[in-house]
Amino acid sequence: MNRRIVVTGLGMITPLGIGVEKTWDAICRGESGIGHITRFDTSDFPTKIAGEVKDFNPADYIDKKEIKKMDTFIHYALASAAMAVDDAKLNITDENSERVGVLVGAGLGGLPSIERYHDIYLKEGVRRISPFFIPMLIANLASGQISIRFGAKGPNSCVVTACATGTHAIGDAYKIIQRGDADVMIAGGAESVITPLAVGGFCAARALSTRNDEPQRASRPFDKDRDGFVMGEGAGVIILEEMEFARRRGAKIYAEVSGYGMSGDAHHITSPPPGGEGAVRCMKLALKDGGISPDEVDYINAHATSTFADSLETQAIKTVFAEHAYKLTVSSTKSMIGHLLGAAGGVEAIFSILAIDRGILPPTINYETPDPECDLDYVPNKSRKADVKVAMSNSFGFGGTNAAIIFKKLRVKN
Tell me the residue type at 402: N
In whole angstroms, what separates CA 367 from the centre of its chain? 22
The residue annotated as part of the active site, out of 75, 282, 303, 374, is 303
CA distance to 219, 230, 275, 293, 381, per residue, from 312 (Å): 17, 19, 5, 22, 21
Q: Which of 376, 410, 407 is nearest to 392 (CA)?
A: 407
- Convert the pLDDT of each residue in 104-144 to its tens digit: 999 999 999 999 999 999 999 999 999 999 999 999 999 99
Rounded Cα distance, 245 and 98, in Å: 14
Residues 344 and 370 in one domain: yes
Q: Is 163 a catalytic residue?
A: yes
Rounded Cα distance, 388 and 330, in Å: 12
What pLDDT shows up at residue 97?
98
Rounded Cα distance, 279 and 400, in Å: 9
Q: Which of 365, 387, 377, 8 is nearest to 215 (CA)?
A: 365
What pLDDT shows up at residue 411?
76
Phi, psi of 371 (to 5 degrees): -100, 125
Q: 95 lies in which domain range?
A: 5-248
Rounded Cα distance, 278 and 315, in Å: 11
Residues 14 and 94 in one domain: yes
Q: Under 8 Å CB-to-CB from 322, ≥6 apart: which residues? A: 294
Pairing of strands 100-105, 156-157: parallel
Assign 54 to helix, strand or coil.
coil
Structural domain tally of the chain?
2
What pLDDT shows up at residue 314?
98
Residue 113 lies inside a defined structural domain of this protein: yes
Q: Under 8 Å CB-to-CB from 355, ≥6 apart: which residues? A: 299, 301, 361, 362, 386, 388, 391
Residue 31 lies inside a defined structural domain of this protein: yes
DSSP H helical ranges for 233-309: 243-248, 277-290
Domain boundary residue among 222, 248, 274?
A: 248
Rounded Cα distance, 365 and 27, in Å: 10
Handedness of CA 379, 383, 385, 391 (dihedral sign): positive
Residues 237 and 271 in one domain: no
The residue annotated as part of the active site, out of 163, 203, 282, 374, is 163
* Residue 177 · residue 242 · CB < 8 Å: yes
Residues 271 and 351 in one domain: yes
Assign 93 to helix, strand or coil.
coil
What pLDDT shows up at residue 19?
98
What pLDDT shows up at residue 414?
33
Q: For position 138, which CATH number holds?
A: 3.40.47.10
The burial class, CB within 10 Å (0-12 / 13-18 / 19+), for 59 is exposed
What pLDDT shows up at residue 1?
62
Residue 399 lies inside a defined structural domain of this protein: yes
* Residue 80 · residue 12 · CB < 8 Å: yes
Residues 74 and 140 in one domain: yes
Residue 275 lies inside a defined structural domain of this protein: yes
Q: Is 118 a catalytic residue?
A: no
Residues 68 and 143 in one domain: yes
Q: Is 268 a catalytic residue?
A: no
Domain boundary residue among 226, 248, 270?
A: 248
Rounded Cα distance, 375 and 373, in Å: 6
In whole angstroms, what separates CA 246 from the centre of its chain? 24
* Residue 35 · residue 49 · CB < 8 Å: yes
Q: Spell out, as residue ranges, where the chain has pLDDT lower than 50.
A: 414
* Residue 37 · residue 50 · CB < 8 Å: yes
- Convert the pLDDT of each residue in 210-263 to its tens digit: 999 999 999 999 999 999 999 999 999 999 999 999 999 999 999 999 999 999
The residue annotated as part of the active site, out of 75, 203, 339, 374, is 339
The burial class, CB within 10 Å (0-12 / 13-18 / 19+), for 115 is middle
Rounded Cα distance, 345 and 140, in Å: 17
Residues 193 and 106 in one domain: yes
Residue-wise DSSP of 329-344:
EEE-THHHH-B-GGGH
Domain boundary residue among 248, 273, 305?
A: 248
Query: What's the distance, Cα to Cα, between the start and end of the chain in Å?
Result: 18
* Residue 328 · residue 377 · CB < 8 Å: yes
Q: Under 8 Å CB-to-CB from 64, ≥6 apart: which residues? A: none
Rounded Cα distance, 214 and 137, in Å: 33
Residues 280 and 231 in one domain: no
Residue 255 lies inside a defined structural domain of this protein: no
